[in-house]
């Protein structure tokens, strides 16, 4: 069985990114939408059926930082962060996002 999770950390404030909107897409179509909880995780994502294939997670970064009262340039340097990735088969895929208003990092977690 294949499963997917994500975790978003706000590097600007040194905390989990609670309340960030996230979308999961497959072949350009949205298959799930939600948001991060108080720990920066999207728990409902684990219940979305996924299989081998190409996916994207899109994170509403600018909206998140604006909601936290951060003054962003217009237009913001990062409006949304989209991570394109492929799942090869069975197993757990974890896609973390470390983000600030001006940069981000990701990797395949465990």
Residue 88 lies in a domain: yes
A 10 A CB-CB count for 104 gives 16
| Local structure of 78: helix, strand or coil | coil
Please state the domain count of the chain.
1
Residue 82 lies in a domain: yes
Lookup result for tokens 């298959």: 31
Residue 110 lies in a domain: no
Pick from 108, 86, 4: nearest CA to 46: 4
Residue 108 lies in a domain: no
Segments forming the whole domain that contains residue 22: 2-99
In the chain, the percentage of residues whose pLDDT exceeds 90 is 95
89 pLDDT above the threshold of 90: no
- Residues 23 and 59: their CA atoms lie apart, in Å, by 7
Residue 109 lies in a domain: no
Residue 54 lies in a domain: yes
More confident residue, 46 or 89: 46
- The answer to whether the beta carbons of residues 56 and 29 sit under 8 Å apart is no
CATH number, domain of 42, equals: 2.60.40.180
Which alpha helices (H) appear in the chain, and where do they start and end? 61-67
């Amino acid at each position: 069985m294949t499963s997917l999770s994500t975790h978003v950390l706000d590097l600007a404030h040194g905390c989990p990114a609670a309340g960030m909107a996230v979308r999961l897409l497959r072949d350009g179509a949205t298959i799930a939408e939600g948001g991060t909880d108080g720990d920066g995780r999207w728990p409902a994502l684990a219940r979305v059926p996924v299989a081998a294939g190409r996916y994207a997670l899109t994170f509403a970064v600018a909206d998140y930082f604006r909601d936290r009262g951060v003054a962003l340039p217009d237009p913001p340097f990062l409006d949304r962060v989209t991570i394109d990735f492929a799942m090869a088969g069975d197993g757990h895929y974890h896609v973390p996002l470390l983000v600030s208003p001006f940069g981000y990092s990701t990797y395949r977690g465990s």
